[in-house]
Structures are given as structure tokens and as C-alpha cells.
């Protein structure tokens, strides 16, 4: 079982991840990792000493090839997964980005990006990612 919580803020050093709900020209942007058959929201781990906004910008570029974009924090989210992290609450920052331009080629573990008007059904993290979208929508980000 996975529990997802939302907060306006937490202590900065608790933030381990940045996840970026992304759109371009009115369409959603999802990533497909080379080793998976599912889709996910761009995002990843914060590097030591890195500002969480820098993490979000880096991950957005690495996973989508986004070159020009506007990005804003939505809120803090946390995940409690009984089978992961010993059931401890782990925190990340949720962002929303409007991507204006993309690099032509991806250079990492992401096989492709999907730009679509519809939400995907085959999520990599089905117990987490749809809830992030719901929260961002509640907070009027789209």
C-alpha cells in the first residue's frame, strides 16, 4: 500500500525528489524509460547540495530535452510505501512546467517522450502519479 500526502512546505533538507508535471502547446508531456513499458512524469533525485528548483530544471531537461520553459512549484508531496524505505515518509517537490522548446535528441535513460492531449493509462507509478495531477489541478495549475 502507498500513501501520498501533500504539504505547502517542509524543511528543505527533507526534499529528496523533484517531479515536474509538464505541458507543451496544451498537451501533456510524459517520459518512457528505456527499461520500462510504462510512462511517467519527468523527475528524479536531488543531488547533494543542489537547490530543489535546480533539480527540477535539470531533470526536466535530462528527461524531456526541454530547453525553454516556465516552471513553478506546486507543493510538497510525500510518499509512504510499506515495501520501500522501511515505511518512512519520503518527500519531494512537485512542479508545473510549460515547455516552449525541446532539444531534438534525448541523451540519457529516457527512450522517448510522449506528447498527448490525453492522460496515459499505463503509469510507471500508478499509486502516486495520478494523485500528483489531482493535487496540481486542485491548486489551479491547469
pLDDT of residue 84: 67
Residues 94-115: tens digit of each pLDDT? 999 999 999 988 877 889 999 9
C-alpha cell at 124: 510507471
Residues 21-60: tens digit of each pLDDT? 999 999 999 999 999 999 999 999 999 999 999 999 999 9
| Spatial distance between the Cα atoms of 125 and 122, rounded to a whole number of angstroms | 9
Share of the chain above pLDDT 70, in %: 99
CATH class of the domain comprising 2-139: alpha beta
CB 84 within 8 A of CB 17: no
Flag whether the pTM goes above 0.85.
yes
pLDDT of residue 105: 83
DSSP 39: B
**Under 8 Å CB-to-CB from 137, ≥6 apart: which residues?**
none
Amino acid at each position: 500500500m502507498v500513501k501520498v500526502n501533500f504539504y505547502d512546505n517542509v524543511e528543505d533538507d527533507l526534499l529528496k525528489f523533484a517531479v515536474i508535471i509538464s505541458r507543451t502547446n496544451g498537451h501533456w508531456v510524459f517520459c518512457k524509460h528505456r527499461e520500462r513499458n510504462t510512462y511517467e512524469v519527468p523527475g528524479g533525485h536531488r543531488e547533494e547540495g543542489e537547490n530543489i528548483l535546480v533539480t527540477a530544471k535539470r531533470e526536466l531537461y535530462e528527461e524531456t530535452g526541454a530547453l525553454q520553459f516556465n516552471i513553478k512549484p506546486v507543493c510538497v508531496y510525500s510518499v509512504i510505501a510499506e515495501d520501500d524505505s522501511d515505511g518512512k515518509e519520503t518527500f519531494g517537490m512537485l512542479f508545473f512546467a510549460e515547455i516552449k522548446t525541446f532539444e531534438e535528441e534525448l541523451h540519457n535513460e529516457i527512450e522517448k517522450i510522449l506528447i498527448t492531449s490525453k492522460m496515459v493509462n499505463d503509469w510507471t507509478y500508478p499509486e502516486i502519479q495520478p494523485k500528483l495531477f489531482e493535487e496540481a489541478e486542485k491548486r489551479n495549475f491547469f
